[in-house]
Chains A and B, each alone.
Chain A
Amino acid sequence: MPPRKRPLEPSSGMPAQPDVKPVISPPPKSAPAPVPAPAPVPAPGPEILPASILNNLPGPEREVYKRIYEAGNKGMWSQDIRYTMKLAAPTLTKLTRALVQRGILKEVTDVRHRGKKVFMDARIEPSPEITGGTWYHNGQLDTDAVAAVRRRCLDQIDRLGAATPDMVHKGVEREDPRAGYSIDQIRDILQTMALDRVLEECRSTGEGEFSAVRAGRVCYRRGGAPQGGMIEGIPCGVCPRIDECSPDGVISPPTCVYYKKWLQMDF
């Protein structure tokens, strides 16, 4: 199965060149020296529960826990536990219920299969694969949140003309520091907007409307009014029954209701 999310970009190594062209001017005196943000260290998952706790668990419960712990942030489907451990369904239910009650396991909703019971170590954050990623809330797509961030991105593009995801991200943050969108989220949103042709992905030439963006950078600008639709002006262009229509058939142009309406043949 292909990975659902792009891997984290390497945070170490050479600092990336800024997208924005350096403007040569003396720095304003009041501006504090930029403090480089600490590189995010990928948080290691929690260790397996200490032996002191594990040893207090009854054997079967301990086994179930270990298996589920090993499944990490993807969790484990109850059916899979049953098969690998060769347990009867009621037994498994009893074991997992006890573990959930102790606060050792939790049940999570898998966005792809809402009917499935998936268990996970209670201390682990479920992976985006399970939660559906940042735009999901309780396994449902948060369409309002998506619409809101699209609006904000568009505002930034309108303000900046052409801009890189980084520039849009900074702009959104400046306007609402509490919004807390990650650069990846902004990038994803910009990409869907380019798919919708609301925006257009292009490469900066460093000149004209791109003068604020370093040449060669991928950036986004307004997509312009959509073109196309040449055949939508005539009834057959968008007709749902075109496959059933033939010159001498039951459905044919002279008997066609769409044509009658279009030509206002009501005389």
Chain B
Amino acid sequence: MVSQHGILLATGLISDHFGPLVAKVCDCLLRQGALQLQEIVRRLNLPPGQVKNSLLVLIQHNCVQAFSSPSPRGDRTMTLYLTIFNNVLHRLRFSKFISVIRADIPESEALIEGLLQNGRLTFDQLVGRTISKVPEGTIRPAREEIRMNFNRLVSARYVERCPKAEPHFNPQEDEQSTTARKRAPKTAEEVLSLEQKVVNTATLSDPERFSEIPYSMEDASKTNDRPHNVVAGAKRKHGAFEVDEELNSTIAENEVLWRVNFEKFIFCLKKKFCADRKKPKLKVGTHPIWESFFEANLTDKDTNSVTSSIGGILEKLGQKEGGAAMSIGQIQPVLEDLQCTTSTGEEFTFDLHKMIEACRNEEIESLVKKKYGQEAFTIFRLLVTQGCAVETDQIIDTTILDKQIVHSTLYKLWNDGYIDTEKIASAAGTGYAQFFVWRAKNTFREQFVDNLYHAALNLRQMVNYIAELLLEGSKDETKLRNRKNILILALTRHDDSLLLFCDF
């Protein structure tokens, strides 16, 4: 379940981008879970037409997924709508996604921009948009060229075919199959939310999802003035095989809807975050090795680790200043010191997940230190690293801190919900009736994340507040504009924390 401030933030973003009406529908779905159209209409007391249009906007922008499910009585199927919370929040980070593309496939930047702005488009629409955006007097790109750039995005998995519009998903059946599986040998099965399950059901298989637009011979002769395929004419000229191919290409260009693959972008940002975060800790001369390791990562096996072959690392290293002279013998110990593991010496793997966990802990600890001081930091770290309940005297002993300070700090941390305490009756003969044990609360992270959402919500409100002041007209316009930019920048930076805790 998304936290309270998470919902407020998501609704706020939707309101900024699509207006209050769409935001209302989004809010209703976020609070209630999956709903039918009539149900939303009833709850919001709005005309069905307006609700329907709002849903269409949300679907177009990948914020809502529809699915069909048998009605409770099982006599008919109904269509339910569900908000994809993460996709709503991704709207905060479009600028970051564009910088990823700018660094990787700069020639395709305009295409990604088009997809981000419009949510879902056919290739044909994208071509029309791209051509119309070209400034007067410059050469218009050929459709052929645009397709090449587009296919690059698909093959690198930055762009995907849209998921099924309304897959069939029955929450009750799913529940039963999960319970059935539970009786079988127990495996550490991840508990998926309804949202994740529906998304998984809607997702196409990988080959479908990332199949590029087929190339057809006809294209070479096509001009931009004739963006629409003249299939009928082509049919007569070619054999049956080519007709098939051409038909596929026509469908892929004119009918298939494409969208940005957020997963891939988040993975790129995650890699970049980890690579950058470690940089201040790198020893002199090891920067190029660390960078080459990340650059050489080609296969996206999973999103929790980076694997690169030693050959790839050497190749990338060769392109860097002073890197060409490095040998495997020099690189290997550096990689090992950076916690890259290898079994054969051929491939090195870095565990992103582990690093992200460590970074999350660092962030929370750092806040504890800032808010409650060095002693609280030490005590809190002890409780987190122990992972179990620790008795007061043992805390005093292990941290070698003054007893009074430990007592007052424990109280403060407990009062603010970071730690839990329990009174335990003492065994007879120890001379004490009871003692206290303390442990880091397992909800402190959720609370922290809720505060992150809250802070983002506040930044956004401040941006809007200053925008309003600007609209009213003021003599301090430049100053206000200046403050607004500071706030926007702060929100972009703050979003890194949200990414770290919620998306990586």
Contact = CB atoms under 8 A, between A and B. Distances in A.
B457 A247 contact: yes
A24 interface: no
A231 B365 CA distance: 12
Interface in B361-416: 362-363, 365-367, 370-371, 374, 377-378, 381-382, 385, 391, 393-394, 396-403
Interface string A215-241: 000000000111111111110111010
A46 B247 CA distance: 100
Given A111-B403, A141-B400, A195-B378, A228 B365 contact: yes
Contact of A254 (B8, B396, B427, B461): B461
B500 interface: yes
Contacts of B351: none
A80 B431 CA distance: 7
Contacts of B402: 140-141, 143
Nearest to B406: A141
Interface string B416-438: 00000000001100111001000
A240 B432 CA distance: 37
Contacts of A76: 431
The main secondary structure of chain B at its interface with chain A is: helix
B18 interface: no
B458 A245 contact: yes
A83 to B, nearest CB: 11
B277 interface: yes
A242 interface: yes
A191 interface: yes
Interface stretch (B47-55, B84-92, B307-315, B486-494): B486-494
Interface in A64-99: 74, 76-77, 80
B412 to A, nearest CB: 11
A263 to B, nearest CB: 5
A163 to B, nearest CB: 17
A227 B369 CA distance: 12
Q: In which size bucket is the chain A interface?
A: 35 or more
Given A1-B430, A4-B394, A253-B462, A195 B399 contact: yes
Contacts, number: 139
A112 B402 CA distance: 11
Q: In which size bucket is the chain B interface?
A: 35 or more
Contacts of A77: 431
Given A207-B333, A267-B479, A189 B461 contact: no
A177 interface: no
Interface string A100-140: 00000000000110000000000000000000110100001
B476 A267 contact: yes
B400 A205 contact: no
Given A205-B336, A236-B454, A253-B458, A227 B362 contact: yes
Contacts of B374: 196
Contact of A1 (B281, B391, B455): B391
Contacts of A11: none
Contact of B465 (A1, A205, A253): A253
A16 interface: no
A254 B394 CA distance: 46
B403 A112 contact: yes
Contacts of A146: 400
Contact of B400 (A74, A188, A236): A188
A111 B392 CA distance: 13
A139 B311 CA distance: 63
A229 B363 contact: yes
Nearest to B277: A227
A228 B363 contact: yes
Interface in B43-81: none
Interface in A251-267: 252-254, 256, 259, 263, 265, 267
Contacts of B426: 1
B473 interface: no
26 contacts: A2-B391, A2-B394, A4-B393, A5-B397, A132-B403, A133-B397, A135-B400, A141-B400, A141-B403, A192-B399, A195-B381, A196-B378, A225-B280, A227-B277, A227-B362, A227-B366, A228-B365, A229-B367, A230-B500, A231-B452, A231-B494, A237-B367, A237-B494, A253-B458, A254-B461, A263-B487
Given A135-B400, A188-B398, A229-B370, 17 more contacts: A4-B397, A111-B403, A132-B396, A132-B403, A141-B402, A196-B374, A196-B377, A227-B281, A228-B359, A229-B366, A230-B494, A230-B500, A231-B451, A231-B455, A237-B367, A253-B461, A254-B461
